[in-house]
Chain A
Amino acid sequence: MRPKFPFVMDCGLFTTSYQEDMAVLFSPAAKIKVAAIIAFFLVLPYFVSPYFISVVNLIAIAVIGALGLNILVGFTGQISIGHGAFMGVGAYTVGILTTKVGLSYWAALPLAGIMAAMVGAVFGIPSLRLKGLYLAIATLAAQVIIVYTIIHWTSLTNGSAGIVIDAPRLGSASMADDRNFYYFAMLLCLTAIVCTVNLFRSRVGRAFMAVRDRDLAAAVMGINLLKYKVMSFGLSAFYAGIAGALLAAYLRVITVENFTVEVSIQYLAMIIIGGLGSVMGSIYGAAFMTLLPIFLRSAADFFGSFLPNIAHFLLSMQTALFGLIIILFLIFEPEGLAKLWKDIKEYFRLWPFSY
């Protein structure tokens, strides 16, 4: 390598082999960046308060769920309003397997994903014939059916009383401790991100995108529509199942109210705000949706000290504000936070000559 002068810019990165050309982390700086981020998250719990860790834990769970939904909605162009219910399937699988069958949590975790994937795939079958709004209603039916089953199959699910599970333990480390759970959730979250990024470098991921862009054209090119649509539903539900199982381990109580249609819509909002068809967008969206109520609450507390009435007003505005944010994103930045962040980076990169 020849020596480099500082402040001199290359006119590009050049690769000399296919392997280099296809690398996920294309430039050396990207490698440093990713390493820095991972190192940052590794040491984070030693510097922040336990409450902050608990918030990050909730975000990590939401990221896994949002990634799954983005595979289906953002990359395959299908729609699902049953994501919350698929999370419920995962959580209840863990609950039933650990309390009634006596499996350990670690064995139940992958089974929860597989179970949710199977249920998701079944409800994905109508997607071959249904599109758009019709598919949305069909998946809404999945949501209602699953929730109804959970509430009324009391012998298996304890109905609305829910299932109480013990905190999973790994050796002497109990997941009831936020810091231990943090590393566990982060590991799963990182795995999910890496898998998703790689998925779209594979044949399957490209097939998903072909289906999204024009399913007829995809079929002409020899993509089996049924297979890939159902696979996308299954894969999306697998992520949801894992997220649900994680949530179960975190809350240690599994009740149906954590998996209602509001949750499904919240996940849709996450990926719309974060960016449809963007892996990073799923992460930004999940973090945004989890943090917004917390910021709003501190804002309400802050203003409440001068104007007592405004605090209550701000809190009641929360739902309306969510709606407003989604509308604004759809109008001004349909590609979400991911695009916004990219634009900001571009601006600084090209400054002062942003042509």
Chain B
Amino acid sequence: MRFRSFWVVLLCVCLAITLVAAGCGGGKKEAPTHGTEAPKEPVKIGGIFDLTGATADVGVPYQQGAKAYFDYVNSQGGIDGREVKLIDIDYAYDKTKAVEVYNKLVKQDKVAAILGWGTGDTEALKQIIATDKIPYISGSYSEGLLNVAECPYNFLIAASYSDQARIALKWAKDNWKGAGKPKVAFVYNDTPFGKSPIDDAKKYATEIGFEVVADEVVDLQALDATSQVLDMKRKKADFAIIQGTSNLTATVLKDAKKNGLATKFIGLNWAADEKVVKLAQDAAEGYIGVIPFAFPTDNVPGLAAINDYLASKGQKLEDQTQKFVQGWASAMIMLEGVKLAGDEVTGEAIKEGLETLSEFETGGLAGPVTFTADSHRGIEKVRLAEVKNGKFEYLTDLFGYK
């Protein structure tokens, strides 16, 4: 008995020593990158993306776009000769994991700012972001992140989901030719992302003379939405606003066609990309999307750089989707903040840099973005596009609801 316990103690001591040694080693390795702010040190930006989770369908091209922009900037000589480095991690749309990943990026890799992803995790992190002073550009444009007093380090580079829904509703109202009050239904998934604009949108819809007839909850990865679609048919919805991703939207559109719905579907930005058209095929005809970012097929100057970059890698711009452009534009705006931060690249400096952006042009990839110290609502305008012959065609230019 004694002898056995002796072994255990010995083992524990050994384990402790190795662990402590490893910890010390790790600590020492970190020290120089943190302590010395040599001017040629690379600027480190973190990335929290979804490559394998529920929103991977749009998450993968977004991540590729962001990575591509960093690569592009480095190939152009970096920012003031400094290399920029994107340390990106897949968090599989899992919020607990997002926190762990965030801690790694901030505490171990010591990144100056982060490109994030989902609404749920961005909302979950907003407190910690503010304490750690990490500027955060997320793939989520939730209205909840716009309170500068509560989340001073979150920046929205596109119209918030609530604004997008309001703009879609305004357009629907202006183009309503039928008699009586138009009826609108909301199709969304039961996550913070899905529910984010719904309350605001309902309020606005009633204000401008819509009748809100239905709430249809569809799962992000649902393969069938027949019951929800039939419910909308029964309630005779004239318009339906979709807040979801490509998969959800395609499912809804297909089932709507199958059941002969006359409803006009309008999807907010994550529900409107080429993938919806690809998945829903002819069911997508007439579907309207809210488009805050350019399509690779658009004729805007900003795409030239993407085209050149992809050509140098032996890829083609036509193969990329709008979400790639979105990732590229997010990285572009973030690095513009880094550029304006000056030599001492800290979270606070990047925040101040971003807050000086006024009508910042991304070459048409995103709308002109303006941040001030009191408002991180980058833009309030979007374009609408309708699917015609399997392609999105713009219905409007950039416009707001006010």
Residues of A within 8 A of B (CB): 9-10, 12-13, 27-30, 32-33, 36-37, 40, 44, 47-52, 54-55, 58, 151, 159-162, 164, 176, 178, 250-253, 255, 257-258, 262-263, 293-294, 297, 312, 315-316, 318-319, 345, 348-349
Is there a chain A Cβ closer than 8 Å to B107's Cβ? yes
Is there a chain A Cβ closer than 8 Å to B76's Cβ? no
Measured CB to CB, the closest approach of chain B to A140, in angstroms, equals 17
Q: Which 10 A-B pairs have the closest CB atoms?
A: A29-B5, A48-B23, A51-B108, A51-B107, A54-B103, A50-B107, A349-B4, A253-B124, A47-B23, A252-B127
Q: Please report the C-alpha to C-alpha distance between residue A33 and residue B126 in the assembled complex, in whole angstroms.
A: 42
User: Which residue among B20, B125, B126 has the maximum number of chain A CB atoms within 10 Å of its CB?
Assistant: B20
* Residues from chain B with Cβ under 8 Å of A44 in the complex: 19-20, 23
* Residues from chain B with Cβ under 8 Å of A164 in the complex: 126-127, 150
- The answer to whether residues A49 and B192 also contact, given A29-B2, A251-B124, A294-B100 and a CB cut-off of 8 A, is no
* Residues from chain A with Cβ under 8 Å of B103 in the complex: 50-51, 54-55, 178
* Residues from chain A with Cβ under 8 Å of B311 in the complex: none
B89 touches A297 (CB 8 A): yes
Measured CB to CB, the closest approach of chain A to B71, in angstroms, equals 13
A10 touches B16 (CB 8 A): no
Is there a chain A Cβ closer than 8 Å to B144's Cβ? yes
Chain A interface, >50% SS class: helix
Measured CB to CB, the closest approach of chain B to A161, in angstroms, equals 6
Q: Of residues 74 to 101 in B, which have CB atoms within 8 Å of A's CB atoms?
A: 89-90, 92, 94-97, 99-100
A27 touches B3 (CB 8 A): no
* Residues from chain B with Cβ under 8 Å of A151 in the complex: 190
Q: Please report the C-alpha to C-alpha distance between residue A28 and residue B1 in the assembled complex, in whole angstroms.
A: 10
Interface size on B, residues (CB 8 A): 49
- The answer to whether residues A33 and B12 also contact, given A27-B1, A51-B107, A349-B4 and a CB cut-off of 8 A, is yes
Question: Which chain B residue has the least Cβ–Cβ distance from A312?
Answer: B51
* Residues from chain A with Cβ under 8 Å of B8 in the complex: 29, 33, 345
Q: Please report the C-alpha to C-alpha distance between residue A9 and residue B1 in the assembled complex, in whole angstroms.
A: 8
* Residues from chain A with Cβ under 8 Å of B16 in the complex: 36, 40
Measured CB to CB, the closest approach of chain A to B342, in angstroms, equals 27
A349 touches B7 (CB 8 A): yes
Sampled A-B contacts (10; CB under 8 Å): A13-B2, A36-B16, A49-B26, A58-B96, A160-B192, A262-B94, A293-B97, A315-B52, A319-B52, A349-B7
Q: Please report the C-alpha to C-alpha distance between residue A138 and residue B20 in the assembled complex, in whole angstroms.
A: 46
* Residues from chain B with Cβ under 8 Å of A348 in the complex: 7
Other A-B contacts than A33-B8, A159-B195, 19 sampled, CB-CB below 8 A, are A27-B2, A27-B5, A29-B6, A29-B8, A32-B9, A36-B9, A36-B12, A36-B13, A40-B16, A50-B103, A52-B23, A58-B100, A160-B190, A161-B144, A164-B126, A176-B131, A312-B51, A345-B4, A348-B7
* Residues from chain A with Cβ under 8 Å of B3 in the complex: 9-10, 349
* Residues from chain A with Cβ under 8 Å of B104 in the complex: 51, 294
Q: Which of A10, A50, A160, A251 contacts B195 (CB 8 A)?
A: A160
Residues of B within 8 A of A (CB): 1-9, 12-13, 16, 19-20, 23-24, 26-27, 30, 51-52, 89-90, 92, 94-97, 99-100, 103-104, 107-108, 120, 123-128, 131, 144, 150, 190-192, 194-195
A318 touches B124 (CB 8 A): no
* Residues from chain A with Cβ under 8 Å of B19 in the complex: 40, 44, 48
* Residues from chain A with Cβ under 8 Å of B120 in the complex: 160, 255, 257
Q: Please report the C-alpha to C-alpha distance between residue A251 and residue B124 in the assembled complex, in whole angstroms.
A: 7
- The answer to whether residues A316 and B52 also contact, given A48-B23, A253-B124, A255-B192 and a CB cut-off of 8 A, is yes
Q: Which of B7, B27, B195 contacts A48 (CB 8 A)?
A: B27
* Residues from chain A with Cβ under 8 Å of B99 in the complex: 58, 250-251
B127 touches A162 (CB 8 A): no
Q: Please report the C-alpha to C-alpha distance between residue A300 and residue B172 in the assembled complex, in whole angstroms.
A: 48
* Residues from chain A with Cβ under 8 Å of B131 in the complex: 176
Measured CB to CB, the closest approach of chain A to B34, in angstroms, equals 10
Question: Which chain A residue has the least Cβ–Cβ distance from B5?
Answer: A29
Q: Please report the C-alpha to C-alpha distance between residue A255 and residue B125 in the assembled complex, in whole angstroms.
A: 11
B95 touches A257 (CB 8 A): yes
Measured CB to CB, the closest approach of chain A to B2, in angstroms, equals 5
Question: Which chain B residue has the least Cβ–Cβ distance from A58?
Answer: B100
Question: Which chain A residue has the least Cβ–Cβ distance from B92?
Answer: A318
* Residues from chain B with Cβ under 8 Å of A318 in the complex: 52, 92
A54 touches B9 (CB 8 A): no
Question: Which chain B residue has the least Cβ–Cβ distance from A351?
Answer: B7
Q: Please report the C-alpha to C-alpha distance between residue A28 and residue B5 in the assembled complex, in whole angstroms.
A: 9
A257 touches B127 (CB 8 A): no
* Residues from chain A with Cβ under 8 Å of B191 in the complex: 160, 257
Q: Which of A10, A49, A262 contacts B2 (CB 8 A)?
A: A10
Q: Please report the C-alpha to C-alpha distance between residue A293 and residue B99 in the assembled complex, in whole angstroms.
A: 13
B26 touches A345 (CB 8 A): no
Q: Please report the C-alpha to C-alpha distance between residue A10 and residue B6 in the assembled complex, in whole angstroms.
A: 12
* Residues from chain A with Cβ under 8 Å of B194 in the complex: 160
Q: Please report the C-alpha to C-alpha distance between residue A255 and residue B127 in the assembled complex, in whole angstroms.
A: 13
